[in-house]
Structure 1
Amino acid sequence: MNLLYLHQHYSGPGGATATRAHAMARAMAARGHAVTLACGRYDGAETGLSGPFRRGLREGRVAGFRVVEFDIPCGNAQGLGARTGAFLRYAGRAARLALRERFDLALASSTPLTVALPALVAHRLRGLPFVFEIRDPWPELPRALSEAHLGGGVPAPALAAMGRLADAACRNAAAVIGLTEGMAETALARGAAPARVHVVPNGCDLDLFGPQVAPWRPPEAAAWEVLAVYAGAHGRANGLMTAVEAATVLRNAGERRIRLVLVGEGGERARLMEEARRRDLRNVTFLDPLPKTRLAGLLAGAGIGLHLLAPIPEFAEWTAPNKLMDYLAAGLPVVTNAPGRAARLVGAGADGIACGIAAPPGDAPALADALAALVAEPARRTAMGAAARARAVRLWDRRIHAARFCEVLEAAAEVPALARAA
């Protein structure tokens, strides 16, 4: 099969962003398929390519597959207009690629939702079958963020247009992949045939994260401090002010055994840092985004993985954070303030042992209590960490999910060919 993988925000392991696409493209290539992954220039991403852009792109081979990188910068620090422009420019360049070369299948991985445009164009003009992957449900999440005044206020006409595009993608796709059952339900609600909808969740990179990694700690971390690490975006949707408030509660209670380490960037980072300075929070460290390989060492030197989101009900079943998988793979007990799927994931498993604690959404004192409880009970923390790693190996090994991902794509490529033959 000759596969066109449309993923605007692709990154390899050298970057600071999600590497699911890298793993899935590599798995398809390992099964003998020719893979072309088309991406843009995403902040924090590293495609593995070097050298100048010519005529707005550069390309080369990475981990057994071809990468075509368009010179289209995009990142969370951009305003809505700039990001929208980047999304549309990528869609246009990717559509030309899809029409210029011969592919057997396209995979459009959203977000952004506009990756569906080149797939739909090639489907209409060339009859190219495509798979639509939902990593974040759009426009459902932007609508929820706008209603909660956390997403920059996406205009109603734009939400309506996104709704029509999502409908078209779900109804015309040979298969739809959702990262959670909740995401799969959004595809069904938009007209996807039930037999074509599949759940292939995020998984754990057990080679990159785990006990085999050499640990490191920030220089300001005292030997007696347990590090609680949050690694991810610093936007309003992430609700990190709750972490600053929890650090304040811990400081005021005289708890000196915990250091919160917030790794990443985003629109709220400057405000969070200023607030931490204003409160004189010496138990909080901010770090710039780290390559995944460097992050693995920090998690190896930490004691707790911190998973935080703003208290928005839609987040309960519509999010699948990579950071949660990274914490489990690293063998860290997790403290989350997200209900629903995340809370279930860290709850007691079949062995009766939990691998984390779920605090109520947006409740800073409860978050502080959960952190203090794990620090006060080293044996419990160790048992939860061991349960996290065991669960990562048994249930969330990314290689297992990559095999299922490949099977869905292979079946989707066969169905149209069989239909034409009939």
Structure 2
Amino acid sequence: MRILYLHQHFSTPAGATGTRSHAMARALAARGHAVTLACGRYDGAASGLSGPFRRGRREGAVDGFRVVEYAIACGNAQPLPARARAFLRFAARAAGLALAEPWDLVIASSTPPSVALPALAARRLRGIPFVFEIRDPWPELPRALGVGGPALWWGLDRLADAACRGAAAVVALSEGMAATARAHGAAEVAVLPNGCDLDLFGPRAVPWRPAGLPEGHALAIYAGAHGPANGLGVLLHAALLLQAEAAPVTLLLVGAGAEKPDLVRRARDWGLGNLRFLDPLPKPRLAGLLAGAEIGLQCLAPVPAFAELTAPNKLMDYLAAGLPVVANMGGAAARLLAGEGGPPCGLATPPGDAAALAAAIAALAGAPARRAAMGAAARRLAERRFDRRALAARFCEVAEGAARRGTAPGRVALA
């Protein structure tokens, strides 16, 4: 089967961003499918290609599948208008590719939601079935954050309606996202959460720590985007409280984004000696850093919609690394950390509550035995529920079923 996989933000594990589409494309190729993955140039990503661009495009083989990369820069630090232009430019180039070759299936992975446009064009003009993967629900999250306005949200609603109704199958990363897909008209939805790379993260990783950490301090790491949706200001306030209490913990924020310069300035102005920053790290390097840490930090802005609509990739990395997690959110993440009937693997605090967040971090920093128990529970949970290999196999089944029965969009019975 010839599959076109569209993911503008694709990265191999050599990059510093999510690798879900790499794992899924590799799994599809291992089952004998001819996979072409089309992407742009996303900040922190590594496409696996190194040759020159010709007419804004380069391509080559990566881990058993073909990668087509367009010279369209995009990143969280860009202003929204620049990112919107990058989204539409990629959609236009990907539409040309979708219509140029005899595909059996298109997989469109959002975010951004504009990736659905080439899939819809291929469906309408060539009769090619497609799978729509919702990694971030649009426009639900922009609307909740107040980003954009009614006209933009209306347009995104219509695009989500068309994508969900036209797809032979919809893949959602959480039950909350699945509910939004059904609200947009999807008849058949498979929930396949973010997975854990159990080989890269965990006991095999060689641990390391940044130089100059205070002796005896626990290391608590946030590794991810530094943007408005992440609400990292609350971590600065928590660090201020922890410093006032002389808590034996250092917070390390790893990543990049539009908010990072301001966060660095505020940390300096506040004299936060217990908080540091690092640039994004390639996944293998991050795995070693997490292996050398004591606590994983999950942080989001205090937006009620985040409770059920998000599926943070960084949380999967913490679990795979066997780290106890402190999260400032309720909903699905809080239930997960509470153990959902099993032993807890972390602590959840109310969104936006810096004092509660600081107290939870301090509680784990001063309790090595408790950290060890929660960390072991985190790794077992990763192995039992979030093994990426098992999730990739299920993803392949959904894609194959969509291709077989995709002639009736919205009426596909998933295997």
1:69 and 2:60 matched:
no
Q: Deviations over 1:66-106 (max 9, x none)?
A: 00000100111111111111111101100000111110000
The match for 1:330 is 321
8 Å CA contact 2:3–2:106 kept in 1: the answer is yes
Q: Structure 2: which amino acid aligns with 1:220?
A: G
Alignment counterpart, residue 220 of structure 2, candidates 218, 228, 231: 228
Deviation at 1:417, TM superposition (A): 5.8
The match for 1:181 is 175
Deviation at 1:375, TM superposition (A): 1.4
The match for 2:361 is 371
CA distance in 2, matches of 1:285, 1:220: 11
1:167 and 2:169 matched:
no
Alignment counterpart, residue 157 of structure 1, candidates 151, 164, 169: 151
Q: Structure 1: which amino acid aligns with 2:367?
A: E
CA distance in 2, matches of 1:374, 1:80: 38
1:105 and 2:105 matched:
yes
Q: Structure 2: which amino acid aligns with 1:165?
A: L
Alignment counterpart, residue 243 of structure 1, candidates 204, 212, 235: 235
Alignment counterpart, residue 207 of structure 2, candidates 203, 210, 215: 215
8 Å CA contact 2:287–2:321 kept in 1: the answer is yes
The match for 2:351 is 361
Deviation at 1:261, TM superposition (A): 0.3
The match for 1:149 is none
CA distance in 2, matches of 1:317, 1:222: 37
> Normalised by the size of structure 2, how large is the TM-score?
0.97
Q: Structure 2: which amino acid aligns with 1:249?
A: L
Q: Structure 1: which amino acid aligns with 2:63?
A: A
Deviation at 1:222, TM superposition (A): 2.3
The match for 2:138 is 138
The alignment of Structure 1 onto Structure 2 pairs a total of residues equal to 409
1:400 and 2:394 matched:
no
The match for 1:199 is 191
Which runs of 5 or more structure 2 residues have no equivalent in the other structure? none
CA distance in 1, matches of 2:228, 2:73: 22
CA distance in 2, matches of 1:349, 1:400: 21
Query: Which range moved further: 15-24 or 272-281?
Result: 272-281
Q: Deviations over 1:100-125 (max 9, x none)?
A: 11100000100000000000001000
Q: Deviations over 1:275-299 (max 9, x none)?
A: 1111111100100011111100100
Q: Deviations over 1:7-53 (max 9, x none)?
A: 00000001000000000000000111110000000000000000110
Deviation at 1:270, TM superposition (A): 1.0
Deviation at 1:349, TM superposition (A): 4.2
Aligned CA-pair RMSD: 1.1
The match for 1:128 is 128
Q: Deviations over 1:341-384 (max 9, x none)?
A: 11011112443x10000011111111111011111111011000
Deviation at 1:395, TM superposition (A): 1.1
The match for 2:23 is 23
Q: Deviations over 1:292-327 (max 9, x none)?
A: 111001000000000000110000011001000000
Q: How does 1:293-304 map onto structure 2 within 5 Å?
A: 293-304=284-295
CA distance in 2, matches of 1:221, 1:132: 45
Deviation at 1:387, TM superposition (A): 0.5
CA distance in 2, matches of 1:102, 1:84: 29
CA distance in 2, matches of 1:365, 1:376: 17
CA distance in 2, matches of 1:136, 1:384: 28
Q: Deviations over 1:246-291 (max 9, x none)?
A: 1110111122x10000001111111111111111111001000111
Q: What is the DSSP-based 3-state SS (H/G/I as helix, E as strand, rest coil) of the residue aligned with 1:185?
A: helix
Q: Structure 2: which amino acid aligns with 1:200?
A: L
Query: Which range moved further: 218-227 or 164-173?
Result: 218-227
Relative contact order: is structure 1 or structure 2 higher (C-alpha 8 Å, sep ≥ 6)? 2
CA distance in 2, matches of 1:369, 1:406: 43
CA distance in 2, matches of 1:417, 1:270: 50
The match for 1:274 is 265
The match for 1:150 is none
Query: Which range moved further: 19-28 or 369-378?
Result: 369-378
Aligned residues: percent identity?
Answer: 66
Q: Which runs of 4+ in 1 moved over 4 A?
A: none
8 Å CA contact 2:129–2:407 kept in 1: the answer is no
8 Å CA contact 2:130–2:406 kept in 1: the answer is no
8 Å CA contact 2:143–2:149 kept in 1: the answer is no
Q: Structure 1: which amino acid aligns with 2:66?
A: R
8 Å CA contact 2:43–2:75 kept in 1: the answer is yes
The match for 1:313 is 304
Q: Structure 2: which amino acid aligns with 1:284?
A: L
1:260 and 2:254 matched:
no
Q: What is the DSSP-based 3-state SS (H/G/I as helix, E as strand, rest coil) of the residue aligned with 1:72?
A: strand
1:339 and 2:330 matched:
yes
Q: What is the DSSP-based 3-state SS (H/G/I as helix, E as strand, rest coil) of the residue aligned with 2:406?
A: helix
> Normalised by the size of structure 1, how large is the TM-score?
0.95
